[in-house]
């Protein structure tokens, strides 16, 4: 039986690879895709979602366009993917299909209400659509099996020279709504996603997958890796694909429960995800945090999905 999911994304090279993996996995039923601003403005992330999905033959999957700015702050765009959100791509043709008539927040509610069984949400961008979903349609919460999101940084904050992770930093108010939503949530953050890096051995393995899709993914990653190496000194981190992979195979990551709060006021730390691992504030655990990852098994899954 396949796992029904909705992917809420801001493609973005790594979001695009998560879309590819979700659609190609026989164990996933991709019910719909929603877009949000983040790596690029909403027009660009929606255009990218449409053309990626067309390219991989996923025309049957509905795509709904979401929020154009965060809930309470001006939009700060990501810088990891170039202005188009998918720079360095060989020209994937534009799609001529239309997005869903409903806004993503309402489409999410419709898809959830109509689903025969609870759906897993996989947000791989800022949490604006999901936060707004909980404000506007709280009745759909029981129809969400769980949320497995890419976001946050806990243990290795200083190592990455960042108090925050981009998806949470971009819309901390939405992130705060999500972690306090009461819906079972797993945060796959930089602590683990910075361990699934595309470097020379991974490029070599990808080069062997000599298919049209394999070559496009390779082109995406060549651009993405160069930008990453320039800013962070390491290869391209497959943040969003890891969140998706953790739905397919939860044993790829280890997690621990904690109470997490999102800093909304800090002058330089707003968007920081603060975990109370030892229960000192006597608050109930509200999320599970990914603490380690089996990177080799993750890459084996990626190659398999691209190859088969
Ligand atoms: C997250 O931010 C974006 O740049 C990526 O797509 C990923 O979702 C990593 O911090
Ligand atoms: Ca993303």
What per-residue confidence (pLDDT) applies to 100? Answer: 98
Residue % of the chain over a pLDDT of 70: 98
Distance 103 CA to ligand 1 centre (A): 23
Tell me, using a 6 A CB cutoff, whether residue 15 lines ligand 1. Answer: yes
- Provide the mean pLDDT of the chain: 94
**Cβ–Cβ < 8 Å for 169, 128:** no
Please tell me which residue, 131 or 223, carries the higher pLDDT value: 131
Residue % of the chain over a pLDDT of 90: 84
What per-residue confidence (pLDDT) applies to 218? Answer: 94
CATH code (residue 173) = 3.90.245.10
Distance 114 CA to ligand 1 centre (A): 30
Q: What is the pLDDT of residues 92-129, one digit of tens each?
A: 899 999 999 999 999 999 999 999 999 999 999 999 99
Tell me, using a 6 A CB cutoff, whether residue 165 lines ligand 1. Answer: yes
Distance 304 CA to ligand 2 centre (A): 22
Tally of domains within the chain: 1
Specify the pTM.
0.97
Domain limits for position 290: 3-307
Tell me, using a 6 A CB cutoff, whether residue 80 lines ligand 1. Answer: yes
Pocket-testing residue among 19, 78, 198, 272, ligand 1, by greatest number of atoms within 8 A of Cβ:
78
Q: What is the pLDDT of residues 257-289, one digit of tens each?
A: 999 999 999 988 899 999 998 888 899 999 999
| Nearest bound ligand to the CA of residue 78 | 1
Tell me, using a 6 A CB cutoff, whether residue 124 lines ligand 1. Answer: yes
Tell me, using a 6 A CB cutoff, whether residue 240 lines ligand 1. Answer: yes
| Nearest bound ligand to the CA of residue 239 | 1
What per-residue confidence (pLDDT) applies to 159? Answer: 67
239 in catalytic set: yes
Distance 185 CA to ligand 2 centre (A): 17
């Amino acid at each position: 039986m396949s796992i029904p999911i909705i992917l809420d994304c801001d493609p973005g090279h790594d979001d695009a690879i998560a879309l590819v993996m979700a659609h190609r996995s026989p164990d996933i039923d991709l019910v719909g895709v929603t877009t949000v601003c983040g790596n690029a403005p909403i027009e660009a992330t929606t255009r990218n979602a449409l053309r990626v999905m067309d390219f991989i033959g996923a025309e049957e999957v509905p795509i709904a366009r979401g929020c154009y700015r965060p809930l309470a702050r001006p939009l700060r765009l990501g810088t990891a993917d170039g202005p188009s959100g998918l720079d360095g791509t060989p020209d994937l043709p534009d799609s001529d299909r239309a997005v869903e008539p409903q806004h993503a927040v309402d489409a999410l509610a419709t898809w959830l209400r109509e689903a025969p069984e609870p759906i897993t949400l996989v947000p791989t961008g800022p949490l604006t659509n999901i936060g707004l979903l909980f404000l506007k349609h709280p009745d759909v919460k029981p129809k969400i099996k769980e949320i497995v999101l890419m976001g946050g940084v806990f243990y290795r904050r200083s190592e990455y020279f960042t108090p925050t992770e981009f998806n949470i930093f971009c819309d901390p108010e939405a992130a705060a709504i999500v972690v306090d939503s009461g819906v079972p949530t797993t945060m796959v953050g930089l602590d683990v996603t910075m361990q699934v890096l595309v470097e020379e051995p991974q490029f070599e393995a990808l080069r062997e997958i000599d298919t049209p899709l394999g070559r496009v993914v390779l082109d995406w990653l060549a651009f993405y890796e160069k930008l990453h190496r320039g800013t962070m000194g390491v290869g391209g981190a497959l943040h969003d694909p890891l969140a998706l992979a953790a739905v397919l195979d939860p044993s790829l990551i280890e997690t621990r429960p904690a109470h997490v709060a999102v800093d909304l006021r800090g002058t330089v730390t707003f968007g920081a995800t603060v975990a109370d691992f030892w229960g000192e504030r006597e608050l109930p655990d509200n999320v599970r945090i990914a603490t380690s990852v089996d990177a080799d098994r993750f890459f084996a899954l990626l190659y398999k999905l691209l190859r088969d």
